[in-house]
Structure 1
C-alpha cells in the first residue's frame, strides 16, 4: 500500500518503488547509465510517473543530452505538480542554466510539499545568497538550525545571514550562544579560530570595542585564535578606534614585525591623532619626526622614508629626496619613477625631483668623449638616464625623453627596460609603429621572456598588426588550441581582449570589436556565477571573514576598469548601429583581411573543428558525468556579424551600461554613454539624470556641452510630451543646465568664450554648430581655430578633430591633418594612407640592430 496522502499517479507497487529508490541511489553515486536503465524499467510499466520522468531527465542532462533531459523534466513536473522531487529536480536544472530566479521559485514550490527537506533548504539558502535576498535567507537559515541544531555550520550560517541582512546584534547573539554550547574544542582548531575572529569582527563593526578587545585578549591568551598576525592587526585597529593609548604600542609591534607595510605606519600616526591622508600644517612636523625616528630605528626599511616624502614640503622634502633617490638609482630600481609618480600632483615637488635627478646626472656625466666617466658606477648612470626619461615623458617632453633613452642605449644596448620605455614614449607621442618596433627590439633581448613577448604582442595590436601579434602570443599559448586568440579568451585574459577589441575598433571592424567586448562581459558573468560554490563551501569550512570580503568584492565586480571600458565602447557601437542600421549589413571582417590573414583564419577554423571532433569522440567513449553546467557551445559567429545584426541594439546597450549607474558614478564617460542610449530609448528622466550626474563631475566638459544642446533640441521638438509629471520634472532639470531665455546659438558661443584656449572645447563648439544646421564652411572655420598658438591642442583631440572633418566630408580635412603632422612631429597618426602602409610594413622588417640582438639572445639562451 502507498503511504497515506500519496496521489494515485505517484503511487508505485513495492517492486517499482524499490527500483525508484535505486534510481536515486545510482544518481547520488554517479552511476548514471545504471540509473538510466533502472528508470526505463519503471517507465515501461508506468510511463506517466512524474518523479521517474524527472529523474530520467536529470540523468540525461548529466550525460550531455540536455535538451532531451529538460523536456522530460518539464513533462514530469506537469504530471505531478505536488511532488517535491519533481520541483527539486526542475530547480537543479534551472540552477545549472544559471537561471537563479526561476530555480529559487522551483525550490520554493518544493518546500511547499516538503518544508523540512534539508537538501532543498540548503540549496535555497545558497540561491538566496546569490540573489542577495538576505531577509529570506535569515528565515531559511533559522529553519535549518531548528532541524539540525547539532550541526556547527548551521549556527555560523545563521550568524552570517543576520550579518548580511544588516542585523549585527542578532549575529552577535547567535555567535555568543554557539560559543556557550560548544564543547571539547581541540587545540589549534582552525575552524574555531576563524569563528572567534569573525566574532571579533562583528563586535568591531558594532562599535563594542571594549568587548572586542576582551574577547581578543582572552582568545590570544588561551591560544584559541591561531593567527597571531590577525590578532595583532585586529587589536591595533580596534584600540585606535577606541582611542586607547595602548594602540601606539600595538602598531609599534606590527611595524617591528613588518617595517615595509605602509598601513602599519599610517595606523601608528592615526593613534597619535594624525590622519596621514589629511596632514595639516599643525601636525606636519610631528608626523615627519615620527617617520624620521622609524627611519633611524629601521635603517633598511624603505616605507617610512617614502611616506615622509608625502608629508614633507620645501627644503625638508629636498633634503629627504636626494638620499632616497640616489640610493635607489645606485641599486638600479626600475620601478623608482612609478613609486614617486604620486608626488607629481604637487608642482613644487615635481620641480624639486627634476632638479635633484638632473643634479645627480651632472655629477656622473661630464663633458667628455666617454659617456660614463672613469670612476662612475655605470649602473647609477644608466638608471639615472632612465628615471629622467620617465620624468620628461610623463610631463609630455617626449623629445627630451627619447634623447636620454638613446644616450642610455648607446651606453648599454642590452637592457630591455630601455627599449620598453622607448616604446612607451613613442606610443605617448602618437607613433604606434615606432613603439611596436622598439618593443620588438626589447623582445629580442630575451626571446623566452613571457612578459617581453606579451608587451610586444600588445604593441603590435596597437599598430594594427593582428597577424604579427597573434604570432607572438602563439609562442606561449596551448599548441592544440583552435587559435592563440581563442586560448587567451578561454584563459579570461582581460588585458588581451581589451586590446584586441580596441584594435578592431580603430581598424573600423565594428563586428569583431563588439564580439570581443561581449566576450569581456561574459567573463564578468562567469566571475559572478563562480561565487555560487562559495556560499556552501565557506560556511562549511568556516572561512567567514574572507567569504564576506568576497561578497563585497562581487557586489562591486563591474566597477573593474575592463568592464567599464568595454561597456562604454560596446554601447557606442550599438548606438551607431541604431542610428545607421546599414552599418550592421556591411561585412568588415573579411574585406579588410590580407591574404595571409585569411589563410590564418581558415587554418584556425580547421583546427577548431578538429579539436571539437576529438572532444566529441572522447565524450562518447566514456560514461562520465557531463554536469548540469552549460558547456561552451560552438562559435556560430566567428566574425561577429550576427552579434552586430542582432535586434534591439539599444536594449542590449542599456543592459551592459546598467551597472555603471551605481558602480562608475565618478566616470563622466559612463554617464555620457548612458545618456546616449537613454535619449534614443525615449527615457527622458534617465537621460536628464545622466546629464545632471555628468554636470556635477565636470560642468565644462565638451562632451557634456554637446549632449545638453542635443537634449534641448530633442525635447523642444517633441510633438507629444510624456506624462505631465515627467514633463514637469524634465523641464525643471533642463532649465538648470540651459536656461529658457538663452538660445542654443548663444549658449554655444558663451561656452566657447569661457573655454577659448581648449581645443576639445573648440571641437565641441564646432559639433554643436553643425548640429544647429550651420553651413559646413562655418564649421570648418571654427575647427581651424584649434591650430592657433594660444590653444592647447592635445594629440587625442587632434585625432578626433580629423575624424570629425572626415565625417562631415570636409575638403579641408587633409589641410588640418597636415597642420597636425607638423605640430606633432613624432606622431605617425597623421600620415597619408600610403605612408601608413609603409610604416606598418617597417615594423616587422628586421634591421641589423634587431638581428644582432636576436643572435646574441639565442647564444645566451
Structure 2
C-alpha cells in the first residue's frame, strides 16, 4: 500500500519535471515542431485548449504537413468553435491524404459548421463519386446518405432531397427505416405534395403515442392544436377519427382535451379520467394538469373526479354487484387524484383530509405517503414532509427512488447530515463520504439540493463549494465532447454529432446550472459587500451543538470506511497486475472556506453569469444578478443595459423597482462620472427613472399600483430604508402585507421576516406570529425551540434505521 502511494507521488513529481523539460526545450529551440507539439499536448491534458491550439499553430509553422498535429489542431478548433480555421485545416488534411474517406466527410462537416452549406454539398458529391462497390446495409454509407439529404433540406432543395431519399431507400443504401419515413413526410409537406397526408398518417400508425407526428400531420393540413383557433373543430374531428382507428392510443384522446371546450370537453374528459382511475395510473393528474390553465376545464375535471369518487365508493363493498365491474383500487386512486387536484389549487387542508382517508383505506401505498409529504412541504411544514417521506421509504427499503426522495426532503428541511446518512445506504462503501461519491457521479439533484440547504442554513462556505461543484460538472460536459470530434468523423455518425454540438452550445441553459450560477453569484456579491462573511469563523464553528455531534459521528464513520477500504486494497497487493492504486486527490478546502475567502469574488461571479446572457436572456433573475455584479465592478453601462433588459421583460418587477432607485443613487453619488459613457449613462437612467420624478414619489406611486402584492410591498419597504425613512413607517408598510386583500405566500413572508431582522425591528416576532396564524399548516414561522422538537420528530423513524444496505427490509 505504502509502496504504491510512493509510486503515485513520484509519478506526480515526474510529470512536473517533464513539463519543466518541455518548456526548456521550447526555449532552447523555438523552431522545433516536436517541442511545440508536446507542449500543446500538455496544455490539452490540462484542458487549456486555447494555449494548446497556439502551440499546435506554432508547430505547424515548422512542419506544415504533419498529420498528427493537423488532426489535433482540427479537433481543438472544433472544440473552440473556430470554424474558419477548421475549414483550412481540414482542406490541408484532405490534400495530404485524399484517399482517406473520413477526410472528405470531415471537410464537409467543417463547411457545414462554418455555415457554407453549398460547399459542404459539393464536397459530399465529389466524395460519393469516388465510392465503388459499397456493400448492402452498410451503416456508415447510410449515415452519409442521410447527411446528404439533410444538407439538401437545409439548402431548401426539397425536390432533390426527396429524390435522393427515395432512390437510396429503394436500393437499401439507407437502412434506418424510421428516419426515412420521418424525413419523407417532412419533405413532402414542404413541397406541398398530396402524398404528405398519407406519409404523416403512416407515421402516426407506426407510433401512435408520438405527439410530434400528430403536430406534423396537423401542420400539413393547416390545422393547429389551439382551442382558440377557428380550425379547432376540424382538428378535433381528426383526433376523434384517430381515436376510433387506434382505440388503445392515449395521445389523440389527450390532445383532444386541449382543443375541446364546454360540454364537448366534459364528454371527452370524463371517460378519459375514469379510464385512468380504473387502470390505476398514478401519473393521471400530471398528465392533465396542463388543462388547469382554463378555469372552466378545471371545474369540469373536479366534477368528473367527484362523480368518480361517488361511483367507486358505492362499489367498495365486495358483495355489491357494482364491485364486480370495478377494480378494488379504483376508489383509492380516485382519492389520490382528488388530493393532487386540491393541492395544486392550494387547498392543502382538503388535500390532507382526503389523503388521511386514503391512508386509512390502504396505509401501505408509498405514493400516498409521498404525496402527503409534498402537500405538507407546499403548506410550509418541511419537517412533516420529511417524516412522511421517511414513512414511505420504510415501506420498501430497497427502493432507491424512495431513498433519494426522502433524502431530498431532509435536505429541504435543512437536515444535511441526516440526509447524508440516508444517501450512504446506496452509495459506494469505499467512498470518503456519500456526498463525494454522488459528486463523482455528477448527481445534479444532490449537489443543488445540498447547496441550497447549506445556503438556507447560513453556511455559505459549504454552499458555495457545492454550487461550484455544479459548475465543474458542466465544465466536464464541455470537455467530454472533445473525443467525439474525431470519433464521430471516423464512425460517420455525422447527424447525431451535429445535434451534439448544438446541444453542447446550450448546455449551460440547464436549470441546474442557472440556479447554481445565480445562487453562487449572490454569495460572491455578499462576500464583496461584507468581507466579514469570509473572514469569520469556519462553517464548522457556525454549526449548532447537535449538528457538530452529527458531523463528528459522520466523520468517524467515514474514517472507518476509509480504513476498511485501505485494508481491502492492502489485501490485493499480492496481485502483480501493475495497475497501481488509484488514490482520491485530497481536498484541501472541504468546507469551502478558502473559496469563500477568494480575492476576486466579483470576477468569479461575472464568469458564472456570462454564459447566461445569451442562454437565459429571458430570465429576469439573470439580469438582476448581472446588474448586481456589474454595478459593483463599476461597469455602469453594462449595469444599465441589464436593467433595461429587465424592464423590457417586466417593467413592474419588484427587484427592478429596488434597483432603479439604487442605480440612480449610486451614479448620482459618483464624484467623477465616467466621461466616455456619461451621456449614454444619463440617458439610460432617465429611461429607467425620469429625472422629473423624485424617488419618494416614484416609490409611493409604485405602492399604489401594487398595494396587494407581497413582493411589491417588500420592495417598497427596502426602498424606504434606502431613503432613510423612520423604521416605524417601514414596519407599517410591511405589515400591510398581512391584510386580507394582500396576496402573500410563504416565501415572501419569510423574506419579510428576514428583512425585519436585518433592520433590527422589534416587531419581527409579531410578524412571525401573525404569519404562523395566517399559514396554519406551516411550521417555518415557529420558534427555534419548537423547530428543534419538530426536527427530532421527523427523525423518529417508524422502525430502527438500518446501518447497512444489506439490512434494508
- Aligned residue in 2 for 1:697: 649
Partner of 1:828: 779
Provide closer, same or farther for how the CA distance between residues 739 and 859 of structure 1 changes in structure 2, counting only shifts above 3 A.
closer
> In the alignment, what sits opposite 2:5?
none
In the alignment, which residue of structure 1 is the partner of 2:80?
Answer: 131
2:97 is aligned with 1:145: no
Residue among 243, 256, 259 paired with 1:295? 243
Q: Deviations over 1:590-624 (max 9, x none)?
A: 12032132232354367558868998998998766
Are the structure 2 counterparts of residues 804 and 563 from structure 1 closer, same or farther at C-alpha, using a change threshold of 3 Å?
same
Quickly say closer, same or farther: Cα 1:625–1:472, change in 2 above 3 A: closer
SS across alignment from 2:115? coil
The residue aligned with 1:48 is: none
Who is 1:345 aligned against? 293
Equivalent in 123, 129, 133 of residue 180 of structure 1: 129
Asked if residue 604 in structure 1 is aligned to residue 558 in structure 2, the reply is yes
Q: SS state of the match for residue 779, structure 2?
A: coil
Q: 1:286 aligns with which of 211, 219, 234?
A: 234
Alignment coverage as a number of residue pairs: 793
**Partner residue of 2:339 out of 378, 381, 389:** 389
Q: Deviations over 1:306-349 (max 9, x none)?
A: 11111111111111101111001100101111111211122221
Take 1:480 and 1:834, find their aligned partners in 2: how far apart are those partners? 38
Going from structure 1 to structure 2, the CA distance change for 1:363 and 1:527 (only over 3 Å counts) comes to same
- The 8 Å contact of residues 429 and 561 in structure 2, kept in 1 or not, is answered as no
State how 1:23-34 maps to structure 2 within 5 Å.
none
Q: Matches of 2:745 and 2:97 in 1, distance apart?
A: 68
Choose from 375, 378, 385 the match for 1:435. 385
Q: Which of 744, 751, 762 matches 2:702?
A: 751
Pairing of 1:288-367 with structure 2 (within 5 A): 288-365=236-313
Report which stretch shifted further, 369-378 or 331-340: 369-378
Q: Identify the match of residue 717 of structure 1 among 664, 669, 677.
A: 669
Query: What is the CA-CA distance between 1:759 and the residue it aligns to?
Result: 1.1
Map 1:17-28; keep pairs closer than 5 Å. none
Is 1:646 the counterpart of 2:594? The answer is no
| RMSD, matched Cα | 2.6
Deviation of 1:372 after TM superposition, in Å, equals 11
Shift of 1:587: 2.6
1:30 aligned partner: none
Please name the residue that 1:402 is paired with. Answer: 352
CA contact (8 A) 2:315 2:322 kept: no
Contact kept? 2:714, 2:734, Cα under 8 Å = yes
1:241 Cα offset (Å): 2.0
In 2, the alpha carbon distance for the partners of 1:603 and 1:79 equals: 54
Aligned match of 2:548: 594
Tell me, in whole angstroms, the C-alpha distance in 2 between the residues paired with 1:806 and 1:63. Answer: 51
Selected match of 2:362 from 389, 395, 412? 412
Identify if the C-alpha distance between structure 1 residues 716 and 859 changes in structure 2 by more than 3 Å, giving closer, same or farther: closer
Residue 15 of structure 2 corresponds to residue 66 of structure 1: yes
Out of 765, 787, 799, the position equivalent to 2:738 is: 787
The normalised TM-score by structure 1 is 0.89
User: 2:589 pairs with 637, 650, 655, which one?
Assistant: 637
Q: Pick from 822, 828, 838: which aligns with 2:789?
A: 838
Kindly indicate whether the alpha-carbon contact (under 8 Å) linking 1:458 and 1:469 is maintained by their aligned counterparts in 2: yes
Contact 1:419/1:439, CA 8 A, preserved across alignment: yes
Q: Distance in 2 between the 1:387 and 1:381 partners?
A: 10
SS at match of 2:539: helix
Does residue 104 (structure 1) correspond to residue 53 (structure 2)? The answer is yes
- Distance in 2 (alpha carbons) for counterparts of 1:620 and 1:681: 58
Q: What is the CA–CA distance in structure 1 between the aligned matches of 2:584 and 2:808, rounded to whole Å?
A: 43
How do residues 548-563 of structure 1 correspond to structure 2 at under 5 angstroms?
A: 548-563=498-513
Task: Give 2:494's match in structure 1, choosing from 525, 538, 544.
Answer: 544
SS of structure 1 residue aligned to 2:473: helix
Alpha-carbon deviation of 1:523?
0.6
TM norm structure 2: 0.94
Summarize deviations over 1:118-160 as a string: whole Å, max 9, x none: 1100000000000000011000000001111110000000000
1:143-188: CA deviation from partner (whole Å, max 9, x where unpaired): 0011111100000000000000011111111111111111111111
Residue-by-residue CA offset, 1:5-60 (whole Å, 9 max, x unaligned): xxxxxxxxxxxxxxxxxxxxxxxxxxxxxxxxxxxxxxxxxxxxxxxxxxxxxx99
- Mapped to 1, the partners of 2:513 and 2:729 lie a distance apart of 39
- Conservation of the 8 A alpha-carbon contact between 1:365 and 1:373: no
1:174-253 map, 5 Å:
174-253=123-202
Q: Distance in 2 between matches of 1:769 and 1:466?
A: 37
Tell me how far 1:461 sits from its aligned partner: 1.2
| Contact 1:481-1:608 at 8 Å conserved across structures | yes
Q: Is the CA contact (8 Å cut-off) linking 1:671 and 1:690 kept in structure 2?
A: yes
Q: 1:280 to 1:814 in 2, by over 3 A?
A: closer
- CA 1:153/1:404 → structure 2, altered by over 3 Å: closer, same or farther? same
| Structure 2 unaligned spans of 5+ | 1-7
- Picking from 445, 448, 458, the partner of 2:398 is 448
- Offset of residue 267 of structure 1: 0.8
Q: Which SS does the other structure have where 1:365 is aligned? A: helix
Supply the distance in 1 between the matched residues of 2:142 and 2:632 (Cα, whole angstroms): 56
1:620 and 1:730 map into 2 onto residues whose CA distance is 71
CA spacing shift, 1:473–1:619, aligned 2, 3 Å: farther
Q: Matched residues in 2 for 1:291 and 1:783: separation?
A: 53
Aligned equivalents of 1:396, 1:490: Cα separation in 2: 38
